[in-house]
Chains A and B, each alone.
Chain A
Amino acid sequence: MSESIFNLTWLIPLPTALAFFAIILFANPKKRLSSKIAVGGVIIAWILSWAVAIMFFVNPEFTEQPFDLAVPWIPMGNIVFHMGVAVDAVTAGMLFMVGFVLTMIFIYSTGYMSFPGHLDPEKYPDAAKEGLDPRYSRFFAYISLFATGMLGLVVADNLLMLFIFWEIMGLCSYLLIGFWFDKSYPDPKQITPKAAGLKAFLTTRVGDVLFMMGLIFLFIHAGDLNFQNIFANQEFLHELSTTTVNLPFFGAVTWAGLISMLIFWGAIGKSAQFPLHVWLPDAMEGPTPVSALIHAATMVSAGVYLIVRMSPLFSAAAHGGSGVMMFVAFIGAFTALFAATIAVAQKDIKKVLAYSTISQLGYMFAALGIGAWVAAIIHLLIHAFFKSLLFMGSGSVIHGVHHGHEHAHAHGHGEGGHEEYFDPQDMFNMGGLLKRMPITGWTFIIGGASLSAFPLITAGFWSKDEILAHAWADGHMAVYWTLAAGAFLTAFYTFRQIFLTFFGSPRTEAAEHAPESVRSMTWPLVALAFFALFGGFVAVPVDFPVVGGLASDFLAKLMEMQGEFYGLHVAPARFDWTPALISMTLALSGIVVAWLVYGWKPLKAKQSDPLRRWLGPVYTVLENKYYFDELYYFIAVRPTLWLASFFYLFDRGVIDRIVNWVGAFNRWLARTLRRWIDEYIIDGAVNGVGLVTTWTGAVVRLIQTGQAQNYLLILLLSVVILLLLIPFGS
């Protein structure tokens, strides 16, 4: 029975793929139909993935020998590379989350995209008339393709296949961020969607290239990339962690260390960790469902998933004495705090969430770095729920405010009018929205509470607490305190956002007239809110007082059992009051501080952020994200373009001359034969030939005078010369 269900696994990515092709090939003109196809496809995928996931949850014995179904795919030299699908606890957990979140967001999108807010009706009359985005179908094609990528990545049984879907997701991310490629802003410094897409693709590409190098090195050593084959094979891992390679600057490093480091860079790029984090905030230029889907729930967490998959290799490397795990922990913890600080000073509702995503992913990497990969994967799943909830909530808010803005203008009493640009995402243009849009408001608050790990009743608390508990229990104090500080900031900026958005009184006409969103958008919020609250009860430590008894921790158990198969022994962190209390206090105090600043005396219209007063220059630095964009522009973008144009000049100016044989001539003759140069400077060949002809021309004029007697003289001379040569003959 269960086997037969698992045999359906390879079908999971297909429906959405078919939807993609169906839309781009046939349904493109019919917008409603396209969205129906896409939703239908994803629902089938959802059912399949839940069938598989639940089947795995109910039969834990499969962790002994995970399911794997592979077929010979590509001949490589004398071996044949197999592609296939595998299901283990991690996959099952991911399938559970991905299938559900995907479906929710697809449904949400049908509502969200039916408001071409970014377009002025004059230019796109029909779009405005039918009330659908002009590229509605294209959007659903893209996200269907993305769904294929994510589901395929989850079920892939080997690293190469994973990499392929990984890149396909990157493509979709590029396409969807730049979806409104014709959008532009009055402020030239503000990044446009098309530029954001490019930035995202290229930044992640850097990571991906390193990832591919790691993959190739692993392939070279293992001769295979199937996860189960490689990681069940302890002596191979051991051999990999003992053989070393000499690198400049780094000296001798173990192959395991090198490979896992390279692969980790892939994750850094995809999961927007420091220093490759710059693309994610700008990715918010994409439509909000995209932010919710790709840049919160699924694609960015694929980096974490990758490291979880690779963790046998990482631990092997750690055993081999390589510092890669420490590096992972450092990057994770640092990013968690670093991004949180930036989030504090953002005014764009989505930017805040973007930075909080970066910071949360940092938590997961920190957990992986300290070896608590179970905590990491569980936080991944739960974070996916509440973060997509938050994003979709913010999207709903933006919609509302935008509608309100339109409405306000429609009724004339808008402030300023069309000419001055109104930013519907600016939290300082909002306020008091809880009354206007209650469902959105309350679900958003639930999500926020979960994000800021509100004790006991939210899922976020359990998952994050697990990480902190591990950090404390295994004695990684630096990590613990960094994350704890991050936890405080998280709570602060989350509730800063909530207070600014939903409480107090509307600060603009737009906010005053903001309506609640359509049902297709609110229902998914509710559904997700459920998991944001109770999702945590799959991983409550048994020895946690009171609750521990009531709730279950079957998922954690499952994961730990699965770990055994890969030779990863993760002891569940023994419950300890100290870290638990510390983190609770920090979270709560964060909320309290936020209330004191923004909730107690709500801001008035046009009133600037009080933090700006108190933090002064620091606030400016944070507001400008530590000036990383500027830095990268100067150290990466500029030099590249400069090199490019330099090489081009070099090519035309130097090589094209040197290579064809006469090119050398022209510089030599340039001084004497000005005219020729002017005539032929552009190119080498004709130029050279031209010069040769003049040169020979001179010679000819010299000897071919037309004077018979000169000829005869030369005849005589040459005979004489020949005769004189005789003595030198052999």
Chain B
Amino acid sequence: MDLLRSSVLSLIVFLPVVGSIIVALMPKEKEDLIKKFAIWWSLIPLLLTIWVAIDYAMNFMHGNQMAYQVKLAWIPSIGVNYHVGADGLSVPLLFLTALLTTLGLYYSARVIRKRVKEFFLLFLLLSTGMFGVFVSLDLILFYVFWEIGLVPMYFLIGIWGNPKDRPQYAAIKFFLYTLAGSIFMLLAMIGVYLSTGTFDILQAAQTGVWTNAPMFATLSFWAFFIAFAIKVPSFPFHTWLPDAHTAAPTAGSVILAGVLLKLGAYGILRVLLSLFPGQFAQFGWIVAALGVIGIVYGAFVSLAQTDLKRLIAYSSVSHMGYIMLGIGAVAVALNMKGTEGAAESAAMAFNGASLQMFMHGIITGALFFLVGVVYERAHTRDLKVFGGLSAVVPVYYATMMFAGFASLGLPGLAGFWAEFFTFRGAFGIVPWLAVIGVIGIVITAAYILYRIIQSLFLGEYDPKRWTHWTTVFGEHADGPTDMALFEKVTLWPLVILMIILGLWPTPLLMYFNEAATNILSNLHF
């Protein structure tokens, strides 16, 4: 048991690499073998993450310390360690990553037809980068995984992107954008070392970074923040996102929206909040303001879209705004230590932000899968050519309804709790910004119902409006065909999660709440 505990995180992180190496050794022609292997292999990390979640809940709750810590010297001369560990914040995100990876592989096994081997190889590799970021407690390790996640996604977008959406441009843009952020983050990390003498996040947090040199502290803060804000992406660094999401293959978009965006938010909570509480408190309002702008702006822009996938991409900008708002509120609350209610509002905001990370993961993941469902059949995403599908493809309609209403924050579905907690926190700390942010809720409802539901499903189905239908497997079809079994298998777990967590978020929330209380108490709240 202890052996497993000490190795489980490393297993989760590196098993996908092993998997991709094995895939690399397989002959290119054995596509079915490759697909099956990749899917089954990806189940191992999934099971491990589930085990971690259960074990953590049973044995490590209320410990206020990183569980499953492993610390091996990597570059001892400069104190760079392979230091991994998990707490309430990372455990659910690990599960999310594993789940979406498996589903993505399973879905892609049916729809990816060219260069299969490379796809599955890269997809496994990608998950390593994401797992790594969520568990690494050493800045350099964090950076390494951060960049490793970048490369496979660059390939996924570039190779399997839909030629109409200029995937090569999108891929380069995505890569350069993130690199531009992260390279300065690297400089800031070095700065952290120079000031604290360690790359270890926990130690650095204890010693405090650039406490003597506020100028450097501010600079490093912004370097980190911009890197994370680009990844999130926060307004105004979001413009890579619509292109990347639109161009990427379905599973790629799912991972991109479901997990990669979370890396940024996670980084803010894990690194920025613990290393630069002073600066964060000082500039927290900017973060919150950016979040609010993102919410409203993203919602409005989504309302203007007629391309389904691009719409959902922009909706991500809006939804990630909630996270930024929540985090910003937490930061501002650091200034209000002592004022009654500040502490619990901060906890609520923290919960809201982290809940949104997870919920947006499953909801937008599902939405992108659903885009894939219609795109694989109609080969267009132009909302103007659809209508009345509700009568023709009821299962698809129902699934989309669940995802859509979850996304607009309907109580009883997953999205609501994230929004509720975020606003509960934000109203307690930055009420005016929260008031503006509330506009976003209404606009969100508008674009989900008016753009997606109405133009896809309602109205009278007119077979003459769009004629290039095929089945999901590419055979010719006279009209839209309802979801195939594999699509149901991909989507329904997510829908079920939405419903369960919507009615009873506690199983998820207890982790985040644990993390919130711990991290905030470490900030001497």
Contact = CB atoms under 8 A, between A and B. Distances in A.
Interface of A: 24, 28, 73-79, 134-135, 138, 160, 163-168, 171, 174, 178, 181-182, 184, 194, 198, 201-202, 205-206, 209, 212-213, 216-217, 219-220, 223, 640-641, 643-645, 647-648, 651, 655-656, 658-661, 683-686
Contacts of B218: none
29 contacts: A76-B348, A77-B344, A77-B348, A77-B351, A135-B391, A164-B411, A165-B411, A166-B411, A167-B411, A167-B412, A178-B458, A184-B460, A194-B458, A194-B459, A198-B454, A201-B445, A202-B449, A212-B441, A213-B427, A216-B420, A223-B344, A640-B443, A640-B446, A644-B302, A647-B301, A651-B239, A661-B180, A685-B172, A685-B173
B343 to A, nearest CB: 7
Contacts of B461: 182
Interface in B333-378: 341, 343-345, 347-348, 351
A656 B238 CA distance: 8
B300 A643 contact: yes
Contacts of B238: 655
A75 B509 contact: yes
Given A164-B411, A178-B458, A660-B173, A216 B423 contact: yes
Contacts of B416: 164, 167
Contacts of A658: 236
Contacts of B420: 160, 212, 216
B290 to A, nearest CB: 13
B111 interface: no
A201 B458 CA distance: 15
B405 interface: yes
B236 A73 contact: no
A178 B454 CA distance: 10
B190 interface: no
A126 B344 CA distance: 59
Interface string B161-193: 000000001001100110010000000000000
Interface size on B, as a range, is 35 or more
**Interface core residue of A78, A178, A194 (most chain B CB under 10 Å):** A194
B149 interface: no
Given A75-B513, A135-B391, A683 B301 contact: no
Contacts of B517: 77-78
Interface of B is mostly: helix
Interface in B124-159: none
B466 interface: no
Contact of A213 (B169, B344, B438): B438
A647 B412 contact: no
Contact of B344 (A28, A76, A138, A206): A76
Contacts of A160: 420
Contact of A74 (B176, B410, B411, B509): B509
Contacts of B459: 181-182, 184, 194
Contacts, number: 152
A272 to B, nearest CB: 17
B433 to A, nearest CB: 13
A455 B518 CA distance: 67
Q: Which 6 A-B pairs have the closest CB atoms?
A: A77-B347, A164-B411, A644-B303, A648-B304, A181-B458, A644-B304
A516 B417 CA distance: 49
Given A171-B405, A213-B427, 13 more contacts: A28-B394, A160-B420, A181-B390, A181-B457, A182-B388, A182-B461, A184-B460, A644-B304, A647-B301, A651-B239, A651-B301, A683-B169, A684-B239
Nearest to B516: A77
A206 B390 CA distance: 26
Contact of B506 (A73, A216, A223): A73
Interface in B364-408: 388, 390-391, 394, 398, 405
Contacts of B424: 76, 216, 219-220
A604 to B, nearest CB: 37
Contacts of B510: 75
Given A202-B445, A648-B301, A168 B343 contact: no
A640 B303 contact: yes
B321 interface: no
B412 A168 contact: yes
B505 interface: yes
B442 interface: yes
B391 A163 contact: no
A569 to B, nearest CB: 32
A181 B401 CA distance: 15
Contact of B347 (A76, A644, A684): A76
Interface string B438-473: 100111011001100010011111000000000000
A134 B392 CA distance: 11
B113 to A, nearest CB: 28
Contact of B450 (A198, A220, A660, A685): A198
Contact of A220 (B343, B390, B427, B445): B427
B454 A655 contact: no
Contacts of B341: 220
Contacts of A684: 239
Given A77-B513, A182-B388, A660-B173, A209 B442 contact: yes
B169 A206 contact: no
A160 B419 CA distance: 13
Most A CB within 10 A of own CB, among B243, B391, B411, B417:
B411
Contacts of B119: none
A135 B398 CA distance: 13
B442 A202 contact: yes
